[in-house]
């Protein structure tokens, strides 16, 4: 493959902050509140802690690989096993985009239209997604340098309007029963596992200087924003939280400020929808990238990005009105698959990298 070292650590951090958090804002707060009640924010924090372990493992692998992930994997595990793993990862990334995409489609349909629009209204997303996927990781990272400021601006609007409306006594006791916390963390597992993205993005880094420090800080920012949003969400809705889906729209509409200036919260929600486009396209890009690693397409390939986006559109077409049934189905049958690819394999790569590195050091002695 051609030289991949085309993104900076700063761009990687700009990917982490908005894209590791924004897709957790829509259905997740209501879902975890229904399971963990006032301890929902603790369940989300616990999930971030689990993901933090994978973040460290992924960064360790990136720091200690001299070649891109695919080439190093071939060297360690052999080409056949590597190709099978990358094809399965392509399927995993394809499915990882499914739930946030359905959420985004329903958020737009139910929030910005008075009557339920047809899928054709949402079709421009797939045109944009095709363009983003085709342009690849480098162009994506450059775009996120702008997206992060839009994300922070939208969060400023939403928090400024929603925080004063909360009744924070609803969060007491601060630490719920461990059983409810663990159950809540498991119920939202499909929205986590994002650090595995770094394992694949690491092949594109120009430099690895201060990689641990910068990525950990960025990850902490994403975690704090998300945990805080879930806490504010429950403080506003309390016992009816589990029915309040699409949190960013619902949280800020009760602000007294809106009675004087109109629905300013819609501006924040529209911007978040734009940020969500990039968050959804991230796994689709890695899906295409994983396929490209295996088959080594030459030149400016159009067919594979088109097929990735086309089949995602077909999947959305058949499930567009069944978001909660789709989530339940994926939770019931595919959570073990998500655990393997988001948690187990990154740890396997980290241990294999450590063993491979020590073997090379012994040979050089």
pLDDT, tens digit, for every residue of 154-177?
999 889 888 888 888 888 887 778
Residue 118, pLDDT score:
57
Residue 171, pLDDT score:
85
Integer CA distances (angstroms), 132 to 6, 127, 128, in order: 16, 9, 6
> How many CB atoms are closer than 10 A to CB 190?
21
Burial of 274 (0-12, 13-18, 19+ CB in 10 A): middle
Residue 61, pLDDT score:
94
SS (H, E, C) 226-252: HHHHHHHHHHHHHHHHHHCCCHHHHHH
Residue 297, pLDDT score:
75
Residue 341, pLDDT score:
95
Residue 11, pLDDT score:
93
In three-state secondary structure terms, 205 is strand
Residue 182, pLDDT score:
93
Q: Specify the pTM.
A: 0.91
Report the share of the chain in percent with pLDDT over 90: 51
Structure tokens at 154: 């939208």
Check pLDDT > 60 for residue 259. no
Integer CA distances (angstroms), 99 to 3, 28, 255, 341, in order: 33, 11, 30, 16
What band does 42 get if pLDDT is binned at 50, 70 and 90? very high
The conformation of residue 102, written as its DSSP 8-state character, comes to: H
In three-state secondary structure terms, 3 is coil
Structure tokens at 355: 């063993």
| Averaged pLDDT for residues 203-209 | 87
Interior/surface letters 19-35, b for 16+ CB within 10 angstroms, e for the rest: bbbbbbbbbbbbbbbeb
Structure tokens at 318: 């058949």
d(CA 123, CA 71): 37
Q: Phi first, then psi: what are they for 205, rounded to 5°?
A: -70, 135
Residue 334, pLDDT score:
84
What band does 2 get if pLDDT is binned at 50, 70 and 90? very low
Structure tokens at 231: 């806490």
Check pLDDT > 80 for residue 365. no
Check pLDDT > 60 for residue 257. no
Mean of all residue pLDDT scores within the chain: 86
What band does 131 get if pLDDT is binned at 50, 70 and 90? very high
Between residues 109 and 286, which one has the greater pLDDT? 286
Give the distance between the most distant pair of CA atoms in the chain: 74
CATH numbers and ranges of domains, the chain: 9-354 (1.20.1740.10)
């Amino acid at each position: 493959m051609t030289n991949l070292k085309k993104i900076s650590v700063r761009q990687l951090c700009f990917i982490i902050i908005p894209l590791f958090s924004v897709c957790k804002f829509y259905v997740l707060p209501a879902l975890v509140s229904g399971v963990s009640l006032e301890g929902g924010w603790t369940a989300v924090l616990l999930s971030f802690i689990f993901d933090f372990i994978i973040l460290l493992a992924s960064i360790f692998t990136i720091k200690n690989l001299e070649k891109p992930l695919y080439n190093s994997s071939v060297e360690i595990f052999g080409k056949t096993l590597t190709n099978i793993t990358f094809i399965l990862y392509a399927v995993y990334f394809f499915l990882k985009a499914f739930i946030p995409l359905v959420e985004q489609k329903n958020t737009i349909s139910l929030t910005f239209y008075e009557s339920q629009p047809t899928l054709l209204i949402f079709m421009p997303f797939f045109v944009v997604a095709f363009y983003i996927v085709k342009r690849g990781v480098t162009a994506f990272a450059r775009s996120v340098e702008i997206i992060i400021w839009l994300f922070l601006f939208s969060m400023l609007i939403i928090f400024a309007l929603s925080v004063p409306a909360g009744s924070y006594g609803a969060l007491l006791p601060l630490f719920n029963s461990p059983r409810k916390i663990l159950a809540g963390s498991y119920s939202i597992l499909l929205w986590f596992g994002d650090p595995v993205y770094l394992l694949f993005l690491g092949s594109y880094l120009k430099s690895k200087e201060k990689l641990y420090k910068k990525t950990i800080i960025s990850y902490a920012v994403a975690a704090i924003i998300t945990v805080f949003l879930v806490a504010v969400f429950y403080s506003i809705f309390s016992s009816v939280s589990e029915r309040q889906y699409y949190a960013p729209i619902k949280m800020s509409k009760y602000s007294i400020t809106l009675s004087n200036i109109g629905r300013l919260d819609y501006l924040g929600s529209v911007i978040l929808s734009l940020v969500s486009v990039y968050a959804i396209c991230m796994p689709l890009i890695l899906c295409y990238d994983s396929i490209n690693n295996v088959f080594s397409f030459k030149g400016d390939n159009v067919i594979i990005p088109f097929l990735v986006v086309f089949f995602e559109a077909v999947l959305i077409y058949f499930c567009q009105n069944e978001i909660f049934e789709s989530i339940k189905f994926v939770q019931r049958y595919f959570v073990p698959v998500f655990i393997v690819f988001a948690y187990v394999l990154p740890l396997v790569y980290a241990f294999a990298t450590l063993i491979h590195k020590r073997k090379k050091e012994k040979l050089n002695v």
